[in-house]
Structures are given as structure tokens and as C-alpha cells.
């Protein structure tokens, strides 16, 4: 079912919180603390899995950061409704996986929430860097926090593989937690190195955020497929071919400028 009362109520509260920032921009810090409280104290009992706290946590902060950078009211409203939709799917996916770890629809929700959160987090970090010239090491810390964002998707996909094999009576092929953590750390290191380069590209934060998301997806999907036991050379070649085409399309249609325009 796509309708659950608790995730819906929390999502409405999330929407109203973002609307409050639109009315009073100086409420950003207060709303941020309020959403952090909501995530840690209220949402935690909904999923009963500590690792799922990271997705609504960073999604909330990323949404606030990017909302602060959007200028036009109409664009703010569109962004708020899109972010709220993703927020609801994030909570619903975590809630459904609490009862059935092999729920493929819920797994899809978590994967979508992971990619959406990464895009918001990357774009917000780049927007803050370009607007306020924050230090490089702070940017590195921003990027490194995606370790917590991507971890839930890797664990849920690994658990799904184990449950499916057990259900059909197949040989258990458990993916150790240390392996997942190690691969996730490699993903973080790759993205940190990538960010050192793209912050010098002559583009705005949305173009840079979209480019970073494509690179993140390519490596994230390799690890995800590995944890699911579905990694093949054909899938890698296909994904990278599509990713490079999308990256070329974004960069070729972006406005090139020696000074990034926010």
C-alpha cells in the first residue's frame, strides 16, 4: 500500500516546515533543529532501524539548504512539493522494509530516496561553497557524510539477496558488514576526489550537483549490484555508457562562464 498515516503526517509536517522558511528566511536554523529533532526522536520508532535515520536527516538538511538558494517563489513551491514527495517515499520505504525485507517496491523507494538525497546534499553543499566561499576541508566533510546516506541502500539490498536465496533454498551468500562498509568508504573517497576537481568547473551549483550525482550513481550502482549478487560486465558497460551520455548532455547544454553564476 502507498498510503500510511504516520509517514503522511510526518511528511505534512516536513512540508509545513519548509513553507515556514519561505515565509521567514531567518527561521532556517530553528527549522533545521526542529527537523533534526523530528528525525532522531519521532521518525526512529517508525522504521526501528538506526541506519534509516540518515536518509530523512540529510534529506531535510539538504532540502533546507537548497531551498535557501532558490530565488523565485514559484520555483520554491515546486521544489517543496517534490522534496515532500521524496520525503514521504523515504519514510514509507523504511516503514515497509521493517516488516518485509524483500519488499521490492520499498527497496526501490529507498534507492530513489538515496539518489534524491545525494543530489540535494551535493547541490546544497556546492551552492553554499559558491555563495559563501566556505573552506575546502568543510566541503570534504560535507561530501564524506554521504557514507551514512548510501549505507542503508547497500544493507537493504544485501539483506534482500540473503532472504531471496534462503527462500528458494539456495546456498547462503552473506555479504559481511565489513565488506559493505569498506566498499562504501571507497565510494566516499572517490566522490571527495571528484569534488576537488568539479569545484573549479565554470558552472552553477545545479549543474555541478547533477554531474556529481551521475558519477555517484555509477559507482553506487556497481556496489549495489554487487551486494545483490547481480553484478555483470554488461550492466557496468551499459550504465557507464548511459551515464557518460547524460554527463555530456548536461555539460554541453550548461552555460559556460569563468565566473560561476548562482
How confident is the model over 102-109, as a mean pLDDT? 87
**C-alpha span between 127 and 262 (Å, rounded):** 7
Residue 261 covered by a domain: no
Residue 259 covered by a domain: no
* pLDDT tens per residue, range 118-145: 999 988 888 888 777 777 778 788 888 9
Listed as own residue / partner, the contacts of 95-102 with beta carbons closer than 8 Å and 24 or more positions apart are: 95/4, 95/6, 95/7, 95/46, 95/47, 97/47, 97/49, 97/52, 97/156, 98/46, 98/47, 98/48, 98/49, 101/156, 101/159, 101/160, 101/163, 102/160, 102/163, 102/164, 102/167
Q: Which domain holds residue 161?
A: 5-253
- Total count of domains within the chain: 1
| pTM for the full predicted model | 0.86
User: Is a pLDDT exceeding 90 seen at residue 26?
Assistant: no
* pLDDT tens per residue, range 46-82: 777 777 788 888 999 899 888 888 888 888 899 999 9
When pLDDT is cut at 50, 70 and 90, the band that residue 172 belongs to is low
Residue 212 covered by a domain: yes
Nearest to 15 by CA among 110, 90, 79: 79
Q: CB burial class (10 A; 0-12, 13-18, 19+) of residue 19?
A: middle
Placement of cell 532556517 in the chain: 28
Residue 262 covered by a domain: no
| pLDDT at residue 262, rounded to an integer | 43
User: Is a pLDDT exceeding 90 seen at residue 168?
Assistant: no
Residue 54 covered by a domain: yes
Residue 94 covered by a domain: yes
Amino acid at each position: 500500500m502507498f498510503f500510511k498515516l504516520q509517514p503522511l503526517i510526518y511528511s505534512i509536517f516536513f512540508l509545513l516546515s519548509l513553507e515556514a522558511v519561505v515565509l521567514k528566511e531567518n527561521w532556517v536554523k530553528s527549522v533545521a533543529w526542529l527537523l533534526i529533532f523530528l528525525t532522531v526522536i519521532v521518525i526512529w520508532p517508525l522504521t526501528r532501524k538506526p541506519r534509516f535515520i540518515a536518509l530523512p536527516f540529510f534529506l531535510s538538511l539538504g532540502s533546507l539548504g537548497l531551498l535557501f538558494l532558490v530565488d523565485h517563489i514559484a520555483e520554491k513551491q515546486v521544489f517543496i512539493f517534490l522534496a515532500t514527495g521524496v520525503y514521504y517515499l523515504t519514510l514509507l520505504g523504511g516503514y515497509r522494509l521493517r516488516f518485509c525485507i524483500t519488499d521490492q517496491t520499498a527497496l526501490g523507494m529507498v534507492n530513489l530516496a538515496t539518489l534524491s538525497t545525494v543530489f540535494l546534499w551535493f547541490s546544497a553543499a556546492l551552492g553554499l561553497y559558491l555563495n559563501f566561499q566556505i573552506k575546502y576541508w568543510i566541503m570534504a566533510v560535507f561530501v564524506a557524510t554521504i557514507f551514512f546516506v548510501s549505507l542503508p541502500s547497500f544493507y537493504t539490498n544485501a539483506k534482500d539477496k540473503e532472504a531471496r536465496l534462503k527462500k528458494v533454498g539456495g546456498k547462503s551468500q552473506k555479504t559481511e558488514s565489513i565488506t559493505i562498509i569498506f566498499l562504501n568508504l571507497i565510494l566516499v573517497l572517490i566522490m571527495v576526489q571528484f569534488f576537488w576537481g568539479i569545484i573549479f568547473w565554470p558552472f552553477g551549483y545545479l549543474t555541478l550537483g547533477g554531474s556529481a550525482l551521475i558519477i555517484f550513481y555509477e559507482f553506487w550502482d556497481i556496489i549495489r549490484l554487487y551486494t545483490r549478487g547481480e553484478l555483470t560486465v554488461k550492466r557496468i558497460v551499459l550504465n557507464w555508457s548511459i551515464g557518460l551520455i547524460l554527463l555530456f548532455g548536461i555539460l554541453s547544454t550548461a552555460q559556460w562562464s569563468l565566473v560561476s553564476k548562482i
